[in-house]
Amino acid sequence: MALQAAALLPSAFSIPREGKPSVSLKDSSLFGISLSDHVKAESSNSALRFKDDPSKIHGFDEQFKMGFDPQKESNQWQLAHGAIRAQTAATTTPAVNQAAPEGKKTLRKGSLVITGASSGLGLATAKALAETGKWHVIMGCRDFLKAKRAAKAAGIAKENYTVMHLDLASLDSVRQFVDNFKRSGRPLDVLVCNAAVYLPTAKEPTFTAEGFELSVGTNHLGHFLLSRLMLDDLKQSDYPSKRLIIVGSITGNTNTLAGNVPPKANLGDMRGLAGGLNGLNSSAMVDGGEFDGAKAYKDSKVCNMLTMQEFHRRYHEETGIAFASLYPGCIATTGLFREHIPLFRLLFPPFQKYITKGFVSEEEAGKRLAQVVSDPSLTKSGVYWSWNKDSASFENKLSEEASDVEKARKVWELSEKLVGLA
């Protein structure tokens, strides 16, 4: 590992741009752009931006075992809300209850599904939303017990959340989750695709239940199927602001410094994705290249950001749903880096805190994602949100690849074949 790190060090400082050699971090000036100026001028969290041209620069059973009873939960929920509905939940409760005195209209609790809420950003977001008392959070998690414990430890009140089993690395599990959710009778007002895996030190690819490379399979394909299957539930919601949010990242955007740390995201002509990412008769990588775990993660984030935009183009006008992506800041302390070498896990947080100043705590990042879920001023669709150093949100610009309309269409079409929707 140490050897690997040592061998890799120089590459970080020789990211070629317009034929110029490497630049030292020491002078706080990277690629000719002053880090401190940039921080002042724009965003400590969105990092340095280049010109846009990169060339220039477990199933249902388990829930019963764990004591989850969708029927019971559904009944309780319906009782609490005075609603009697068919178990298939073809209809939803009106978003506005008129029961309040003096004819005052009160908004009912929003109902939100968030994946990967057992740690990090997902848990912090669940907590931030649950604490408002305005949301019931459905935590879609692969480890039911871990999620329950995490919610409890975070102090989320019992009546504000439900854990439901969801393993995004299995399309059967995704389908099962969606069935369970529909049976619960809850409305779906917001869906947040947050879960992810990052396998930077893997030498060989590993695979999902259906045989897709694990990072793109989980982060992109699992969420792609989930969002497609839950779109109808969102459409049926009568909540005033319906949203589908997919967590993106700066490292997938090659118009930033962070996105230029090798290996860089690049979907190429997507021949690997077309071949099913199985590492047998096709490459495990989207672009058809050699397996690289860090690149696969960054590629998966590009797929996430492209998917958000394709959803926007296909469904925003018709449904009124707001589709958004975001970069919540560098949350250097989360479980995302669990597979990285210990030296990295030690140095990464201080590096982000004191050198790039892109560091953000889990709590702060959770508040940011909670804003994208519920803030009345963040209703715009097709947007990639970021935050500046004062933690104010702004519409950020995606890299050329992550905003390529043709690539978005192609990712969509190839993905729907792989997950069995076309």
Q: Which residues bind ligand LMG (CB under 6 A)?
A: 5, 8-9, 12, 25-26, 200, 261-263, 294, 341, 343-344, 347-348, 350-351, 354
Q: Cα 234–224–145 angle (5° rounding)? A: 85
CB of 4 to ligand LMG, least distance (A): 7
Q: Choosing among ligand PMR, ligand NDP, ligand LMG, none, which partner's interface includes residue 343 (Cβ < 5 to 8 Å by kind)?
A: ligand LMG
What is the residue-wise DSSP string for 88-120?
T--S---SEE--SGGG--EEPPEEEEEESTTSH
Residues lying near ligand NDP in the complex (CB under 6 A) are found at 115-116, 118-122, 141-143, 146, 166-169, 194-197, 218, 247, 249, 327-328, 330-332, 334-336
Helix, strand, coil proportions of the chain in percent (round to 5)? Answer: 45, 15, 40
Place of tokens 């590492």: 279
- The number of beta carbons lying within 10 Å of the beta carbon of residue 205 is 22
249 binds ligand PMR (CB under 6 A): yes
Q: Choosing among ligand PMR, ligand NDP, ligand LMG, none, which partner's interface includes residue 322 (Cβ < 5 to 8 Å by kind)?
A: none
297 binds ligand PMR (CB under 6 A): yes
Q: Choosing among ligand LMG, ligand NDP, ligand PMR, none, which partner's interface includes residue 341 (Cβ < 5 to 8 Å by kind)?
A: ligand LMG
Give residues with Cβ within 8 angstroms of 108, minimum separation 6.
81, 93, 94, 95, 96, 97, 239
Nearer to ligand LMG among residue 313 and residue 353 (C-beta):
353
* Cα separation values, 108 from 239, 323, 373, Å: 8, 22, 15
The tokens of 176 are what?
């099962």
Nearer to ligand LMG among residue 110 and residue 259 (C-beta):
259
Nearer to ligand PMR among residue 198 and residue 224 (C-beta):
198
Give residues with Cβ within 8 angstroms of 334, minimum separation 6.
119, 120, 121, 362
Stretch that binds ligand PMR, among 105-113, 140-148, 292-300, 318-326 (CB under 6 A): 292-300
Ramachandran angles phi, psi of 330, nearest 5°: -85, 105
CB of 206 to ligand PMR, least distance (A): 17
